[in-house]
């Protein structure tokens, strides 16, 4: 009798499956170009980055790995349908870095049934299924995140999304979290590498893990509002009239609460 190594058994069982941290909604997208749009979030587990101010460590830190459930595309879509009452809705793929996961089948299956797809990713890993998305948010991480930026990887993401031509691919946005002057300079540098791509700037929630006594569910709302005002002043001063300055509206409404 051949006994299959349990680890190998687990790997072959999980092949093709998507590691899911959480699926929730319907709610609205709280930030970026699709702010306010009704959506169901599919949050995957695992990330190639570890940002200093990460607001979703439970989907990033391997310490939470046991909470990430391998699911097939059919299982994910069934759960989204259960939440949406069977009605097609925008599915927002986030993470972690969802680009790590095998999401091509889910996107193809969902589109056949009328669902639309957006993804939130840092732009470090390009996938050919980016071309099948409706919306691609690329969020390069600035110096305050303490991660390093690879211009070639970001370009590869844009090229993958536009592989069938610019007009056939997803609507792309560059979304920059900004904490300080150095982050602003970074955003300016990167946006100038891709001048045709619309830009959103948003203040960073710098204390996602340190509850603030007077805030909304632990968030320093006054601090965020002050950073938003600073960002508007900077954009005005620099005459960046082609960018959008947006809050992380979900943080103002729900704080760091999960599942909203």
3-class DSSP state for residue 12?
helix
What does the alpha-carbon distance between residue 220 and residue 179 come to, in Å, rounded to a whole number? 14
Q: Does 147 bind ligand MET (CB under 6 A)?
A: no
**Closest to ligand MET by CB, 84 or 205:** 205
Nearest-angstrom CA–CA distance, 6 and 149: 38
Contact window for ligand MET (CB under 6 A) among 18-26, 119-127, 185-193, 219-227: 119-127
Q: Has 30 been labeled as part of a binding site? A: yes
Residue 51 among known ligand-binding residues? yes
Query: Looking at beta carbons only, is 25 or 95 nearer to ligand MET?
Result: 95
Give the binding-site size for ligand MET (rule: CB under 6 A): 9
Q: Are strands 116-121 and 171-178 parallel, antiparallel or unpaired?
A: unpaired
User: Least distance to ligand MET from the beta carbon of 29, Å?
Assistant: 12
> Binding residue for ligand MET (CB under 6 A) from 122, 144, 173, 256?
122
Contact 79, 69 (CB under 8 A): no
140 is annotated as contributing to ligand binding: yes
Asked whether position 95 contacts ligand MET by CB under 6 A, the answer is yes
Residue 208 as a binder of ligand MET (CB under 6 A): the answer is no
Residue placing its CB nearer to ligand MET in the complex, 84 or 147 = 147
Question: Which range in 94-102, 143-151, 164-172, 239-247 contacts ligand MET by CB under 6 A?
Answer: 94-102
CA distances from 196 to 16, 105, 117, 140, 173 (A): 35, 29, 22, 16, 10
Interacting residues with ligand MET between 44 and 83 (CB under 6 A):
54, 56
**Where is 24: in which H helix or E strand?**
strand 18-28
Q: Is 55 annotated as a binding residue?
A: yes
The two three-digit tokens of residue 229, written as one number: 């005002």
205: Cβ contacts below 8 Å, ≥ 6 apart = 53, 55, 219, 224, 248, 251, 256
Interface pick for ligand MET out of 39, 97, 116, 256 (rule CB under 6 A): 97
Sole binder of ligand MET in the list 29, 92, 116, 121 (CB under 6 A)? 121
Q: Is the dihedral angle over the CA atoms 117, 119, 125, 131 positive or is it negative?
A: positive
Angle, helices 104-112 vs 73-84, to 10°: value is 40
In sequence order, what E strands does 45-198 have? 69-71, 90-94, 116-121, 135-138, 171-178
Q: Which two tokens stand for residue 213?
A: 């006594």
Annotated binding site: 28-30, 43, 47, 51, 53-56, 94, 96, 139-141
Residue set of the binding site for substrate: 28-30, 43, 94
> Binding site residues for S-adenosyl-L-methionine, as ranges?
53-55, 96, 139-141
Binding site for ligand MET (CB under 6 A): 54, 56, 94-95, 97, 120-122, 139
Q: Residues comprising the binding site for [4Fe-4S] cluster?
A: 47, 51, 54
């Amino acid at each position: 009798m051949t006994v299959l190594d349990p680890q190998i058994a687990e790997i072959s069982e999980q092949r093709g499956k998507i590691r899911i941290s959480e699926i929730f909604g319907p709610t609205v997208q709280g930030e970026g170009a699709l702010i306010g749009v009704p959506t169901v979030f599919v949050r995957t587990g695992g990330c190639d980055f570890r940002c200093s101010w990460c607001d979703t460590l439970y989907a990033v830190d391997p310490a939470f790995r046991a909470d990430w459930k391998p699911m097939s595309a059919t299982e994910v879509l069934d759960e989204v349908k259960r939440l949406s009452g069977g009605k097609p809705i925008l599915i927002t793929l986030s993470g972690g870095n969802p680009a790590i996961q095998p999401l091509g089948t889910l996107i193809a299956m969902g589109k056949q049934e009328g669902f639309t797809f957006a993804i939130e990713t840092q732009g470090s890993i390009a996938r050919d299924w980016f071309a099948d998305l409706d919306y691609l948010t690329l969020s390069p991480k600035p110096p305050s995140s303490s991660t390093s930026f690879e211009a070639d990887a970001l370009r590869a993401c844009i090229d993958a999304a536009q592989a069938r031509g610019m007009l056939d691919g997803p609507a792309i946005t560059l979304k920059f979290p900004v904490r300080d002057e150095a982050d602003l300079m970074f955003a300016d540098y990167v946006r100038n590498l891709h001048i045709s791509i619309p830009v959103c700037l948003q203040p960073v929630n710098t204390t996602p893990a340190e509850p603030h006594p007077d805030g909304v569910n632990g968030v320093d709302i006054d601090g965020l509002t002050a950073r938003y005002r600073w960002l508007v002043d900077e954009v005005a001063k620099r005459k960046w009239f082609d960018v959008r300055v947006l809050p992380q509206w979900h943080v103002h409404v729900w704080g760091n609460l999960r599942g909203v």
